[in-house]
């Protein structure tokens, strides 16, 4: 091999064998790309879909050897299925109000242990009889608060782990109405003038019968405004002045928009004034008297029987997003 | 003969041919031994797993959706279509184990491959049963409150 | 040794590495960008659209006035308030109270709303919210409301129903993503 | 052209081009099949008319109550009996809902079975349960609720 011509072909040989090796590698490698990608992924999309459907549209079910019903939140030991929809007829299996979530059920749902949730919602993969649970995150997000978790009883409603950023997840979002508490609506024209001295036309009184488990949410609208500075002065409960931001918070709603209102801010006759009082103030079996004093506002009703907060109670529902996110 | 050994012209061409043939034989033998696996079985496994998971999911999703609207007195039935083959094999959808394990199973008879899909907890309140083979023509899920 | 053209070999090597990396990168990045397949996105959108109508339909009157959302009326009241003579022409919508609620519940989604009802035995279809022409992947959700003269006059609508008449109106929401 | 035909160099390149293209076709077919998966499950979720059936059902339930209230209103100024007015209004409702479903190619039948009152009279507080038959058919899904029991009591 003294003649060094023609060796150029060896380069070509080396090249083509490298190419062939790379080709074999790629052909073997590509199927495994698909395997890791789509199969597991599309399966999880529907796991999330089913879970969200069951949570938002079903009432859940409990049962033991003698009886059964949809009020599983009252029978946590015999839960057969978890569903959050409100049900007014506990004996029938279906709800007439899908997408309306019950506060009691959500609170009970938060207390269930992890293995129950995974088991009951089917958030696992069954490989030859062995269960491998998926990672999951189920949250109820407030649309009005930039999609932060809804807070019920001082607990943010979010279950499971935080969403991992380093892998693919399957997420489904449902729009729901959540019962967040109770409210009472009062028309300022119907509220009586406080007859206790010193009598002021701008002062009204309301009975609140304790004990209460939910915060008091008081909505007053249709004000009769008499001056240039209609505002709210103070709240007095059984003779004690309440302090703002500690015992209560207040705001106003104008055309569906929530605006801040403190004890010096103004409102007008289009505003609904809202007081939110801590339930802890009403712990005893006792009828509390709540005096509400305004400025440049007059109450006209002199008829005496005080209105009772607890008799005007209605459920307050907030629209929210229910998100279910599942990953491997 | 001596002449032949002395003449070194064309050697590289011969060596080139030899090397070339060797490499080609090597390559094609690897390919032909593994061809079945590489080009047919592996992709088929992937596609089968995908399709079977998909079909299991379809069943599970339909049953869940249907459960959410079943009439208290009455019936509901829905037809659905499934492909005759997943990959290259026929398969059976089996919902009979749903009661105890909340699972729908899609099994291929010929290779025994199976995929299991969970259903979200409705089997405990509503018995789900039935098996169907992909090769049968009419597929239907039905519910009747009176049965 | 002929050490010419070594660059060709290196070039081949580099090309192979480059190709493999590109394939890897593309497959990885597309999976990151589209974690859900296209059909699953349709399912999500359809679910959202029908949820939005359901939520507006079932919101109780007291909550509509007092919660933090711009949903001031339920679906029946929204439709009742519509001025029958005013059909929407892009970009003017004629059912603002429904539009407020929908845009709050469905951010980043475009939609049209049509009303369909039976009048003197014939189907009438009217557009009330137009946000554009629906794309290929548009989904449709629909709900029905029943109007009586009472519900209409409560909302100052102009449906002109008789006192003994009831009218079923189909609210059709066509939603799509851009 | 002639020079191209006579030039027999580069056969290897031509051959490898052929092989490569065959391989790429195979992979494309595989990728296509993989992309097809996910079609059935989403198809089921998109095509199963869950929301339509539920809306028909819930709206009929709501309507049974609206019609009850309206019949009492009408009864104040008319000498027809409440059950008669109710039946007429319900017929009117079902013809409207049937027409509205027909535009979407769905066959719907909503018909009143009976108006029930526990004490036999038909005053505002007496009518408590309405029986209605609801059927829905979109060609693939067939739904029948016979009867749907609707409580309309106060």
Q: How many CB atoms lie within 10 A of CB C30?
A: 10
Rounded Cα distance, C37 and D39, in Å? 9
> For residue C161, what are the contacts with CB-CB under 8 A and spacing of at least 6?
C147, C148, C149, C152, C167
List the one residue out of B55, C39, B37 whose CA is nearest residue A31: B37
What's the whole-number mean pLDDT along residues A236-252?
85
List strands edge to edge, sheet with C122-129: C122-129, C110-119, C166-176, C139-148
Q: What was the pLDDT predicted at A268?
A: 81
Cβ neighbours of A142 in C, within 8 Å = 68
- Burial class from Cβ neighbours inside 10 Å (0-12, 13-18, 19+) for residue C101 reads buried
Cβ–Cβ under 8 Å, residues D129 and D146:
no
Which one of B95, B100, B125, B126 makes the best mutation probe of the A interface by having the most chain A beta carbons within 10 Å?
Answer: B125
pLDDT digits (tens, 9 = 90+) for A132-185: 888 899 999 988 778 888 888 788 889 888 888 877 788 889 999 988 888 888
Rounded Cα distance, C87 and C130, in Å? 10
pLDDT digits (tens, 9 = 90+) for B88-125: 788 888 887 766 667 788 888 777 778 888 776 676 67
Contact assignment for B116 to A54 by CB distance below 8 Å: no
Rounded Cα distance, B95 and A38, in Å? 24
Distances in whole angstroms, Cα of residue B80 to Cα of each of A219, C38, D14? 52, 21, 48
Percent of chain C exceeding pLDDT 70 equals 87
What's the whole-number mean pLDDT along residues B20-45?
76
**pLDDT category, A2, cuts 50, 70, 90?**
low
Residue among D12, D38, D54 minimizing CB distance to A98: D54
Entry pTM:
0.79
Q: Is residue D36 within 8 angstroms of chain C, CB to CB?
A: no
What's the whole-number mean pLDDT along residues A237-251?
85
Q: What was the pLDDT predicted at A304?
A: 66
Q: What was the pLDDT predicted at D137?
A: 92
Cβ–Cβ under 8 Å, residues A158 and A138:
yes
Cα of A87 vs its chain's centroid, Å: 18
Cβ neighbours of B40 in A, within 8 Å = none
Q: What was the pLDDT predicted at C39?
A: 62
Q: What was the pLDDT predicted at A321?
A: 92
Q: Is residue D148 within 8 angstroms of chain B, CB to CB?
A: yes
**pLDDT category, D109, cuts 50, 70, 90?**
very high
Cβ neighbours of C12 in A, within 8 Å = 15, 18-19
Q: Which chains border C (3 or more CB–CB pairs < 8 Å)?
A: A, D
Q: What was the pLDDT predicted at A80?
A: 83
Q: Is B143 helix (H, G, I), strand (E, B) or coil?
A: strand
Q: What was the pLDDT predicted at C27?
A: 65
Measured in degrees and rounded to the nearest 5, phi and psi for residue C123 equal: -80, 130
Q: Which chains border D (3 or more CB–CB pairs < 8 Å)?
A: A, B, C
Task: Please give the structure tokens belonging to residue C39.
Answer: 């059909």
**pLDDT category, A37, cuts 50, 70, 90?**
very low
Interface of A with B in 246-265 (CB under 8 A): none
Q: Which chains border B (3 or more CB–CB pairs < 8 Å)?
A: A, D
What's the whole-number mean pLDDT along residues A83-100?
81
- The answer, yes or no, to whether residue C34 has pLDDT greater than 50, is no
Cβ–Cβ under 8 Å, residues A13 and B15:
no
Q: What was the pLDDT predicted at A169?
A: 81
What's the whole-number mean pLDDT along residues D113-122?
81
Pairing of strands A240-241, A248-254: unpaired
Beta bridge partners of A81: A61
- The answer, yes or no, to whether residue B4 has pLDDT greater than 70, is no
Q: How many CB atoms lie within 10 A of CB A136?
A: 25
Find, in chain A, the residue whose alpha carbon is nearest to that of D59.
A96
Which one of C124, C144, C149 makes the best mutation probe of the D interface by having the most chain D beta carbons within 10 Å?
Answer: C144
Which one of C74, C139, C146, C147 makes the best mutation probe of the D interface by having the most chain D beta carbons within 10 Å?
Answer: C146
Q: Is residue B127 within 8 angstroms of chain D, CB to CB?
A: no
Find, in chain D, the residue whose alpha carbon is nearest to that of B79.
D140
Q: Is residue D15 within 8 angstroms of chain A, CB to CB?
A: no
Cβ–Cβ under 8 Å, residues A116 and A60:
no
Contact assignment for A99 to C55 by CB distance below 8 Å: yes
Highest-confidence range of A56-70, A225-239, D54-68, by mean pLDDT? D54-68
Cβ neighbours of D57 in B, within 8 Å = 69, 71
> For residue D54, what are the contacts with CB-CB under 8 A and spacing of at least 6?
A98, B68, B69
Could you write out the DSSP letters of every residue in A208-220? EES--SSPEEEEE
Contact assignment for A185 to C66 by CB distance below 8 Å: yes
Q: Which chains border A (3 or more CB–CB pairs < 8 Å)?
A: B, C, D
- The answer, yes or no, to whether residue C29 has pLDDT greater than 60, is no
If you count residue pairs, one on C and one on D, with CB atoms under 8 Å apart, how many are there? 72
Distances in whole angstroms, Cα of residue D53 to Cα of each of A94, A129, B66, B70, D43? 14, 37, 10, 10, 17
Residue among D46, D74, D99 minimizing CB distance to C43: D46
Which one of B16, B50, B54 makes the best mutation probe of the D interface by having the most chain D beta carbons within 10 Å?
Answer: B54
- Proportion of chain D in helix, strand, coil states, percent, rounded to 5: 60, 20, 20
Cβ neighbours of A49 in D, within 8 Å = 45
Cβ–Cβ under 8 Å, residues D132 and D148:
yes
ipTM metric: 0.79
List strands edge to edge, sheet with A68-69: A68-69, A60-63, A79-82
Lowest pLDDT segment from A106-115, B27-36, B97-106: B97-106
Number of domains forming the structure of chain B: 1
- The answer, yes or no, to whether residue A125 has pLDDT greater than 60, is yes
Q: Which helix (H) or strand (E) holds A288?
A: strand A287-295
Residue among D41, D54, D147 minimizing CB distance to B54: D41
Please report, for chain D, the start and end positions of each structural domain, with discontinuous segments joined by +.
2-45, 49-151
Find, in chain D, the residue whose alpha carbon is nearest to that of A20.
D16
Mean model confidence pLDDT for chain D: 82
Contact assignment for A63 to B61 by CB distance below 8 Å: no
**pLDDT category, B10, cuts 50, 70, 90?**
low
Cβ–Cβ under 8 Å, residues D152 and D123:
no
Rounded Cα distance, A78 and A67, in Å? 10
Contact assignment for B120 to A121 by CB distance below 8 Å: yes
Q: Which residue has the higher pLDDT, C138 or A165?
A: C138
Q: What was the pLDDT predicted at C32?
A: 43
Cβ–Cβ under 8 Å, residues D95 and D63:
no
Q: How many CB atoms lie within 10 A of CB A115?
A: 11
Contact assignment for A99 to C54 by CB distance below 8 Å: yes
Q: Is residue D120 within 8 angstroms of chain A, CB to CB?
A: no
Beta bridge partners of A316: A181
Measured in degrees and rounded to the nearest 5, phi and psi for residue A92 equal: -90, 155
Lowest pLDDT segment from A76-80, B11-15, C154-158, D2-6: D2-6
- The answer, yes or no, to whether residue A5 has pLDDT greater than 80, is no
Task: Please give the structure tokens belonging to residue A295.
Answer: 């400025």
Interface of A with D in 187-246 (CB under 8 A): none
Q: Structural domain of residue B118, as residue ranges? A: 2-144
**pLDDT category, C33, cuts 50, 70, 90?**
very low
Residue among C50, C142, C168 minimizing CB distance to D96: C168
Q: What was the pLDDT predicted at C35?
A: 44
Cβ–Cβ under 8 Å, residues A293 and A200:
yes
Contact assignment for C43 to D45 by CB distance below 8 Å: yes
Residue among A98, A100, A168 minimizing CB distance to C31: A168
Cβ–Cβ under 8 Å, residues C79 and C115:
yes
List strands edge to edge, sheet with B74-79: B140-144, B74-79, D141-151, D127-137, D107-117
Cβ neighbours of C114 in D, within 8 Å = none
């Amino acid at each position: 091999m003294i003649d060094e011509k023609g060796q150029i072909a060896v380069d070509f040989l080396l090249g083509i064998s490298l190419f062939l090796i790379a080709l074999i590698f790629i052909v073997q490698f590509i199927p495994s790309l698909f395997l890791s990608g789509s199969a597991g992924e599309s399966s999880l999309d529907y796991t999330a879909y089913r879970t969200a459907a069951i949570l938002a549209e079903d009432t859940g079910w409990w049962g033991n050897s003698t009886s059964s019903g949809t009020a599983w939140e009252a029978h946590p030991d015999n839960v057969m299925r978890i569903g959050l929809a409100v049900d007014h007829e506990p004996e029938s299996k279906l709800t007439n109000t899908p997408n309306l979530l019950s506060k009691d059920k959500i609170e009970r749902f938060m207390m269930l242990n992890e293995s129950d949730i995974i088991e009951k919602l089917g958030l696992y993969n069954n490989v030859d009889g062995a269960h491998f649970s998926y990672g999951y995150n189920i949250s109820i997000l407030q649309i009005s608060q930039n999609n932060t978790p809804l807070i019920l009883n001082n607990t943010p409603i979010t279950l499971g782990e935080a969403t991992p950023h380093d892998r693919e997840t399957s997420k489904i979002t449902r729009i729901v109405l959540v019962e967040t508490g109770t409210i009472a609506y009062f028309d300022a024209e119907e509220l009586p003038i406080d007859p206790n001295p010193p009598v002021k036309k701008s002062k009204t009184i309301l009975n609140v019968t304790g004990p209460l488990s939910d915060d008091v949410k008081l909505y007053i609208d249709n004000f009769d405004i008499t001056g240039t500075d209609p505002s709210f002065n103070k709240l007095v409960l059984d003779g004690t002045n309440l302090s703002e931001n500690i015992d209560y918070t207040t705001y106003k709603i104008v055309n569906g928009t929530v605006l801040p209102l403190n004890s010096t801010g103004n409102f007008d006759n289009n505003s609904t004034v809202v007081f939110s009082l801590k339930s802890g103030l009403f712990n005893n079996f006792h009828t509390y008297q709540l005096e509400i004093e305004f400025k440049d506002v007059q109450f006209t009703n002199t008829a005496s029987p005080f209105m009772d907060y607890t008799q005007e109670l209605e459920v307050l529902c907030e629209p929210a997003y229910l998100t279910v996110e599942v990953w491997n | 003969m001596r002449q032949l050994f002395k003449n070194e012209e064309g050697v590289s061409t011969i060596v080139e041919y030899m090397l070339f043939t060797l490499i080609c034989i090597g390559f094609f033998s690897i390919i032909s031994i593994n061809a079945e696996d590489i080009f047919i079985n592996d992709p088929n496994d992937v596609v089968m797993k995908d399709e079977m998971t998909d079909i299991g999911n379809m069943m599970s999703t339909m049953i869940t959706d249907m459960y959410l609207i079943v009439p208290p007195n009455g019936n509901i039935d829905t037809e659905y279509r499934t492909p005759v083959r997943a990959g290259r094999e026929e398969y059976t959808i089996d919902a009979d184990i749903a009661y105890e394990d909340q699972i729908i199973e899609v099994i291929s008879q010929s290779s025994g491959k199976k995929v299991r899909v969970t259903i979200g907890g409705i089997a405990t309140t509503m018995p789900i049963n039935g098996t169907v083979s992909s090769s049968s023509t009419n597929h239907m899920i039905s519910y009747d409150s009176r049965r | 040794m002929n050490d010419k053209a070594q660059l060709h070999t290196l070039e081949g090597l580099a090309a192979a590495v480059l190709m493999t990396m590109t394939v890897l990168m593309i497959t990885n990045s597309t999976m990151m960008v589209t974690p859900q397949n296209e059909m699953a996105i349709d399912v999500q959108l359809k679910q959202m659209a029908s949820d939005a109508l359901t939520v507006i339909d079932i919101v109780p009157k007291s909550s509509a006035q007092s919660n933090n959302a711009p949903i001031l009326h339920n679906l029946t009241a929204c439709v009742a308030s519509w001025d029958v003579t005013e059909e929407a022409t892009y970009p003017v919508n004629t059912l603002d109270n429904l539009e407020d609620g929908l845009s709050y519940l469905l951010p980043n989604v475009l939609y049209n709303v049509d009303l369909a009802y039976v009048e003197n035995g014939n189907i009438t279809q009217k557009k009330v919210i137009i946000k554009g022409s629906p794309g290929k992947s548009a989904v449709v959700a629909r709900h029905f409301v029943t109007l009586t003269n009472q519900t209409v006059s409560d909302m100052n609508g102009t449906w002109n129903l008789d006192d003994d008449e009831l009218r079923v109106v189909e609210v059709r929401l066509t939603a799509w993503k851009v | 052209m002639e020079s191209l035909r006579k030039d027999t160099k580069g056969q290897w390149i031509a051959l490898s081009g052929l092989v490569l293209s065959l391989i790429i076709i195979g992979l494309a077919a595989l990728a296509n099949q993989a992309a097809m998966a996910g079609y059935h499950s989403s198809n089921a979720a998109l095509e199963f008319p869950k929301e339509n059936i539920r809306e028909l059902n819930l709206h009929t339930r709501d309507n049974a109550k609206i019609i009850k209230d309206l019949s009492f209103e009408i009864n104040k100024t008319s000498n027809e009996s409440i059950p008669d007015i109710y039946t007429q209004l319900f017929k009117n409702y079902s013809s409207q809902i049937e027409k509205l479903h027909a535009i979407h190619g769905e066959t719907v039948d909503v018909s009143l079975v009976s108006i029930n009152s526990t004490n036999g009279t038909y005053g505002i507080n007496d009518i408590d349960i309405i029986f209605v038959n609801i059927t829905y058919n979109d060609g693939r899904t067939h739904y029948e609720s016979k009867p749907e029991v609707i409580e309309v009591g106060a």
